[in-house]
Chains A and B, each alone.
Chain A
């Protein structure tokens, strides 16, 4: 029974995530348009709300061109693997005390790191199977970037684990109850860990300023160069999903999950907790990605790796040590 329930929740949540990811394209386009002083989509539906539907319909009609020299099987399945892997990340997100698939998995965060690290594989395979030089360069960049940024991502992700004393996602949220959100408490390490984690997540999800695997002004489309029609869309959607799940993970680890700011003042009810707070936090952190993306240019690949190995990894190591000392001395764990 509980398995069937989990399955049902999973299907519903997964579809919702796909839905949100598709609609976030509308949101991103509107957001970017305001940044660029233009109106953005206005024609399809009220304020262009149905634009993703129209885009989807158009893209479904596009021919899927598979290059003759491509590895057909890998070429076609890699986007599906990417999307499936990203959706698997949603499994351990606790959306509220009751909503979630496996929020009580005792290795929740490990699951996110492990599956997240696997996601470089479909990216790399997509580039390799295309048999295109630009896609190959993109794939290599993608591998180098993901492998490097995995390290500080993991190390900064260890900070909330230390503070909460658990890998379990809903326990991490429970440890932040009462306004002790890890982004603000302990002052300093929490905020820094959030910054590092967020930065590395951007790199993991290939967003500007770290989007060098698909730097379209250099590599045309990077790994996605040869992917057309729906398989290209699925690859893009997987990236959006990855960004979305990153935002959700950040909200869980650093911003108290489903707890609302009402709880700080001893209030109860919908101001203090609920699904809506988690969704709101996720969407705000998601929008932050757009803001960064549409404001900055991108780094060069060697500069990108230099930032990681020279600054982010030492910083996250130091942060981890400081947090460990804090936990030992102040909280006396």
Chain B
């Protein structure tokens, strides 16, 4: 297959387009008689995956211009981070990407550890990797199901797919409940390690669950292996990899467009440098390619957890300096300092930039770079020219989580 070299990244040549839709299209110039219908999709709409509001200018059913409006789920998390101590923050950022809370905690904790120079014990590192991969599995399972809802409706075939994936996701949540006591907002990571050690027998139940889920994955493929699913996904919503790079999109969406980029392999954190990670890359660029990438990632996550679960070293799960009281972790330097660290969340690069104030227990600034924000910014470029039905499918295939977009 022909590839192009764009800024040192090789991308499939056939996906690169000469131009993109104009997101700043002046609708009055385009349509002086105002024949277009402005359709507000959301903030309360079954398929906007949260409270995204997309204003569509539609000509019949064809979208001409698409404007996403954000902020319906803004909770001021970043400002809150400036008032809370380093130890308190992980429990707040749980609610950002509410589909993968473990990832949010991990992202901020890694930045704080880098800033305050906290050592993380070996055992905690391995556990972090394991729960991160389990979380990726749960997040992708939720995505497959809800995307099915977008295409098949809650009362219909989509609902069937949805309930099957949720049954399996439930098992992962049960594992996390055993581990942390919470099913959704775990408050598990803390700067310097974990709050909870593994309960007895956890490894065995993890392996059991993995075997079960692995057996179920072909079922989803069977459920989606039909004409209608292909008609709705193949060739729909093809995204140009150059556009993805311009907008800073990463994760499965970028990998489905042929960009071979994964932070777990390219900038390893935790113990990812010790495992041989196989990054699935597709070159279709359409909704179906994104489906394939995520299905492959689920299998890869299962493989990684299997590799690591038996070799969790003994020892403490938190560093020696770590106490659970707020304020115990301080940025000790006399000068101002900053740190950035990024992880590969199920949606792409989840980064945290933190500025530490000398001798203070809370950061001066904590900026979170959510991957979903960049996914939503794609919409004005890819929606024009598509039908309303396809926009729903494309939006679903990007998998943005609005809690993380608005913070």
**Which of A208-230 touch B at CB < 8 Å?**
208-209, 211-212, 215-220
- Cα–Cα distance between A35 and B157 once the two chains are bound (Å): 10
When A35-B160, A217-B46 are in contact, do A298 and B153 touch as well, CB less than 8 Å?
A: yes
Shortest distance in angstroms between B5's beta carbon and chain A's nearest beta carbon?
A: 36
Contact residues in B for A303 (Cβ distance below 8 Å): 231
User: Within the complex, which residue of A218, A219, A296, A301 is in contact with B157, where a contact is CB–CB below 8 Å?
Assistant: A296
Asked if B228 contacts A294 (CB within 8 A), the reply is no
* Across-interface contacts of A35 in B (CB, < 8 A): 160
Whether A298 contacts B151 by the Cβ 8 Å rule is: yes
Task: Judge if B155 is at the interface, Cβ distance under 8 Å.
Answer: yes
A246 to B148, CA, bound (A): 28
Judge if B212 is at the interface, Cβ distance under 8 Å: no
Of A32, A38, A134, A218, most buried by chain B (CB within 10 Å of CB) is A218
Nearest A residue to B152 via CB reads A297
> What are the residues of chain A within 8 A of B389 when measuring CB–CB?
212, 215, 218, 300-301
Q: Is B6 an interface residue (CB 8 A)?
A: no
Which residues of A are found within 8 Å of B46, using beta-carbon distances?
A: 216-217, 220
Q: Complex Cα distance A302/B388, Å?
A: 11
How far does the alpha carbon of A120 sit from the alpha carbon of B125 in the complex, in Å?
63
> A328 an interface residue at 8 Å Cβ cutoff?
no
Does B156 contact A211, Cβ atoms closer than 8 Å?
yes
Any B CB within 8 A of the CB of A295: yes
A212 to B152, CA, bound (A): 10
Q: Across the interface, which residues of B come within 8 angstroms of A299, CB to CB?
A: 228, 231-232
Specify which chain B residues have a CB less than 8 angstroms from the CB of A38 in the assembled complex.
163
Candidates A212, A215, A295; contact of B160 at CB < 8 Å: A295
Shortest CB distance B311–A (Å): 35
The answer to whether A218 touches B160, judged by C-beta atoms less than 8 angstroms apart, is no
Question: Would you give the shortest CB distance from A309 to chain B, in whole angstroms?
Answer: 16
Q: Is B27 an interface residue (CB 8 A)?
A: no
Any B CB within 8 A of the CB of A133: yes
How far apart are the CA atoms of A108 and B157 in the complex, in Å? 35
What is the minimal beta-carbon distance from B45 to any residue of chain A, in angstroms?
6
Q: A36-B163, A294-B159, A300-B231 are in contact. Are A215 and B153 (CB under 8 A)?
A: yes
A244 within 8 A of B: no
* A298-B160 contact in complex given A217-B46, A217-B150, C-beta closer than 8 Å: no
Q: Is B368 an interface residue (CB 8 A)?
A: no
Q: Is there a chain B Cβ closer than 8 Å to A37's Cβ?
A: yes
Q: Is the CB of A293 within 8 A of B47?
A: no
**In this assembly, does B154 line the interface, its C-beta being within 8 Å of a C-beta of chain A?**
yes
The answer, yes or no, to whether B277 is at the interface (CB within 8 Å) is no
The answer to whether the Cβ of B53 comes within 8 Å of any Cβ in the partner chain is no
A37 touches B153 (CB 8 A): no
Q: How many A-B residue pairs lie within 8 Å, measured between CB atoms?
A: 93
The reply to whether the CB of A203 lies closer than 8 angstroms to some CB of chain B is no
Q: Count residues of A near B (Cβ-Cβ below 8 Å).
A: 29
Instruction: List residues of chain A with CB within 8 A of the CB of B151.
Output: 217, 297-298
Give CA–CA (A288, B159) in the complex, Å.
17
Q: B167 in the interface, Cβ–Cβ < 8 Å?
A: yes
The dominant DSSP class at the B interface is: helix
- Asked whether A296 and B167 contact (CB < 8 A) given A217-B46, A217-B392, A301-B389, the answer is no
Let me know if A308 is at the binding interface, CB within 8 A: no
- B61 touching A137, Cβ below 8 Å: yes
A321 vs B199: C-alpha distance in the bound complex, in angstroms? 73
What 1/0 flags go to B323-354 for Cβ under 8 Å of A? Answer: 00000000000000000000000000000000
Residues A300 and B390 in contact in the complex (CB < 8 Å), given A37-B163, A295-B160: yes
B306 at interface (Cβ–Cβ under 8 A)? no
Asked whether A294 and B392 contact (CB < 8 A) given A37-B167, A133-B39, A216-B46, the answer is no
Given contacts A216-B46, A217-B149, A303-B231, contact A293 B387 (CB under 8 A): no
C-alpha spacing A331/B152, complex, angstroms? 45
Q: Are A293 and B157 in contact (CB under 8 A)?
A: yes
B156 touches A294 (CB 8 A): yes
The distance in angstroms between the C-alpha atoms of A238 and B299, with both chains bound, is: 45
Contact with B along A291-323 (1 / 0, CB 8 A): 001111111111100000000000000000000
Q: Are B392 and A218 in contact (CB under 8 A)?
A: yes
Chain A residues with CB below 8 A from B228, complex form: 209, 296-299
A300 CB to nearest chain B CB (Å): 5
**Bound Cα distance A201, B260 (Å):** 47
A32 / chain B contacts, CB cutoff of 8 Å:
155, 159-160
Interface membership of B320, Cβ < 8 A: no
**Assuming A37-B164, A37-B167, is B152 touching A296 (CB within 8 A)?**
yes
B314, chain A: closest CB distance, angstroms: 40
Q: Which residue of chain B has the shortest Cβ distance to A221 in the bound complex? A: B46
Q: When A208-B156, A215-B153, A294-B160 are in contact, do A300 and B148 touch as well, CB less than 8 Å?
A: no
- Taken together as a complex, chains A and B put the C-alpha atoms of A116 and B228 apart, in Å, by 27
Interface set of B (CB-CB < 8 Å, partner A) = 37, 39, 45-47, 61, 148-160, 163-164, 167, 226, 228-229, 231-232, 387-390, 392
Q: Give A residues with C-beta under 8 Å from B.
A: 32, 35-38, 133-134, 137, 208-209, 211-212, 215-220, 293-303
What are 6 A-B residue pairs whose CB atoms fall within 8 Å in the complex?
A36-B164, A211-B156, A217-B153, A294-B157, A297-B156, A297-B232
The 10 closest A-B pairs by CB, nearest first: A297-B152, A36-B163, A297-B151, A296-B157, A208-B156, A217-B47, A300-B389, A297-B157, A218-B392, A217-B150
**Could you list 13 further interchain pairs (A-B, Cβ under 8 angstroms) beyond the known A300-B389, A301-B61?**
A36-B163, A134-B39, A137-B388, A211-B153, A211-B156, A216-B153, A217-B153, A293-B155, A295-B160, A297-B232, A299-B228, A302-B387, A303-B231
